[in-house]
Structure 1
Amino acid sequence: MRQIFIFFSLFFVVCIMAQGQSKNLPDNVVLTFSKNKTHVSTSETGDLIINVSKKDERKFKANGVVRYSDFGARGDGQTDDMDAIAATHAFANQHGLSVKADKGANYYIGGKDRTAVIRTDTDFSTAAFIIDDTDVENRNAHVFMVSSSLEPFKPEGISSLKRNQGKIDISLPGTCLITVTDSNVKRYIRFGPNQNNGSSQTDIFIVDKNGHVDMDAPIIWEFDQITEITALPMDETTLNITGGRFTTIANKAESKYTYYSRGIAIRRSNVIVDGLEHRVTGEGDHGAPYGGFINVSNCAYVTVQNTILTGHKTYRTIGSAGVPVSMGTYDISLNRALNVSFVNCSQTNDINDGTYWGLMGSNFCKNLILDNCTFSRFDAHMGVANATIRNSTLGHMGINAIGTGTFTVENSTIRGRTLINLRSDYGSTWEGEFVIRNCIFVPAGGRPVSASLFGGSNSGQHDFGYTCYMPERITIENLKIDDSSHPENYQGPAIFANFNPKMKDESYKEEFPYVITKEVILKNVTTASGKELRLSDNAFMFRNVKVKSE
Structure 2
Amino acid sequence: MKHTLLIICLLGFTVVSRAQDDAVITSYKGNIHVRNHEDGRLHINVPPKSTRKFKATGKIWYSDFGAKGDGKADDIDAIAATHAFANAYGLTVRADDKATYYISGKARTATIKTDTHFGKASFIIDDTDVERRGAAVFVVRSGKQPYMPTGITSLRKNQAKLQLTLPGPCLITVTNANVKQYIRFGPNQNSGSPQTDIFVVDGNGNVDMDAPIIWDFDQITSITALPIDETPLEITGGIFTTIANQAESKYTYYGRNIAIRRSNVTVEGLVHHVTGEGDHGAPYSGFIDVGNCAYVTVKNTVLTGRKTYTTIGSAGRPVSMGTYDISVNRAVNVSFINCTQTNDITDPTYWGIMGSNFGKNLLYDGCTLSRFDAHQGVANATVRNSTLGHMGINAIGSGTFTVANCTILGRSIINLRPDYGSTWQGELIIRNCVLRPSAKKLSHVSLITGSQTGLHDFGYICYMPERITIENLEIDDSNIPAGYGGPAIFADFNPQMKDESYQEQFPYVKTKEVILRNVKAASGKPLRISDNVFMFKDVKVLHNER
TM-score by length of 1: 0.96
1:468 maps to 2:462? yes
Give the secondary-structure state (helix, strand or coil) at the position aligned to 1:148: coil
Aligned residues: 538
CA distance in 1, matches of 2:349, 2:236: 30
1:191 maps to 2:185? yes
CA distance in 2, matches of 1:26, 1:487: 60
1:89 maps to 2:88? no
Give the secondary-structure state (helix, strand or coil) at the position aligned to 1:22: strand
Alpha-carbon contact 1:418-1:444 (below 8 Å) kept: no
CA distance in 2, matches of 1:313, 1:503: 37
CA distance in 1, matches of 2:98, 2:216: 53
State the partner residue of 1:544.
538
1:493 maps to 2:487? yes
Shift of 1:55: 1.4
Shift of 1:499: 0.3
1:316 maps to 2:316? no
1:285 maps to 2:296? no
More helix by percentage: 1
Any residues of structure 2 matched to 1:481-520 within 5 Å, and which? 481-520=475-514
State the partner residue of 1:207.
201
State the partner residue of 1:438.
432
State the partner residue of 2:101.
107
Given residue 356 of structure 1, which amino acid in structure 2 is its aligned partner?
Answer: Y
Shift of 1:44: 2.3
CA distance in 2, matches of 1:112, 1:63: 31
Given residue 179 of structure 1, which amino acid in structure 2 is its aligned partner?
Answer: T
Q: Any idea what the Cα deviations from partners look like across 1:287-345, whole Å, max 9, x if unmatched? A: 00000000000100000000000000000000000000000000000000000000000
State the partner residue of 1:73.
67
Shift in alpha-carbon separation, 1:375–1:16, aligned structure 2, 3 A = farther
Q: Any idea what the Cα deviations from partners look like across 1:476-507, whole Å, max 9, x if unmatched? A: 00000000010220000010000000000000
Alpha-carbon contact 1:419-1:443 (below 8 Å) kept: no
Any residues of structure 2 matched to 1:16-31 within 5 Å, and which? 20-27=15-22, 29-31=23-25
* Stretch of structure 1 that moved more, 12-21 or 89-98: 12-21
Any residues of structure 2 matched to 1:304-343 within 5 Å, and which? 304-343=298-337
Alpha-carbon contact 2:14-2:28 (below 8 Å) kept: no
State the partner residue of 1:376.
370
Give the secondary-structure state (helix, strand or coil) at the position aligned to 2:64: helix
CA distance in 2, matches of 1:377, 1:523: 26
Give the secondary-structure state (helix, strand or coil) at the position aligned to 1:443: coil
CA distance in 1, matches of 2:360, 2:8: 53
CA distance in 2, matches of 1:299, 1:75: 32
Give the secondary-structure state (helix, strand or coil) at the position aligned to 2:46: strand
Shift of 1:45: 3.4
Of 236, 245, 265, which aligns to 2:239? 245
Alpha-carbon contact 1:100-1:125 (below 8 Å) kept: yes
Any residues of structure 2 matched to 1:160-179 within 5 Å, and which? 160-179=154-173
Shift of 1:546: 0.3
State the partner residue of 2:131.
137
Shift in alpha-carbon separation, 1:319–1:440, aligned structure 2, 3 A = same
Of 33, 36, 40, which aligns to 1:42? 36
Shift in alpha-carbon separation, 1:89–1:510, aligned structure 2, 3 A = same
Shift of 1:31: 1.2
Shift of 1:23: 3.5
Given residue 116 of structure 1, which amino acid in structure 2 is its aligned partner?
Answer: A
State the partner residue of 2:260.
266
Given residue 323 of structure 2, which amino acid in structure 1 is its aligned partner?
Answer: T
CA distance in 2, matches of 1:546, 1:446: 33
State the partner residue of 2:4.
none
CA distance in 1, matches of 2:422, 2:12: 61
- Provide structure 2 residue ranges, at least 5 long, that are not aligned to the other structure: 1-6
CA distance in 2, matches of 1:302, 1:447: 39
Shift in alpha-carbon separation, 1:504–1:86, aligned structure 2, 3 A = same
Give the secondary-structure state (helix, strand or coil) at the position aligned to 1:69: helix
Given residue 40 of structure 2, which amino acid in structure 1 is its aligned partner?
Answer: G
Alpha-carbon contact 1:446-1:483 (below 8 Å) kept: no
Given residue 517 of structure 2, which amino acid in structure 1 is its aligned partner?
Answer: K
Identity, % of aligned positions: 69
Alpha-carbon contact 2:19-2:25 (below 8 Å) kept: no
1:294 maps to 2:272? no
Shift of 1:36: 2.5
Q: Any idea what the Cα deviations from partners look like across 1:203-256, whole Å, max 9, x if unmatched? A: 000010111000000000111110000000000010000000000000000000
Shift of 1:530: 0.5
State the partner residue of 2:176.
182
Alpha-carbon contact 1:447-1:485 (below 8 Å) kept: no
Given residue 21 of structure 2, which amino acid in structure 1 is its aligned partner?
Answer: P
1:235 maps to 2:229? yes
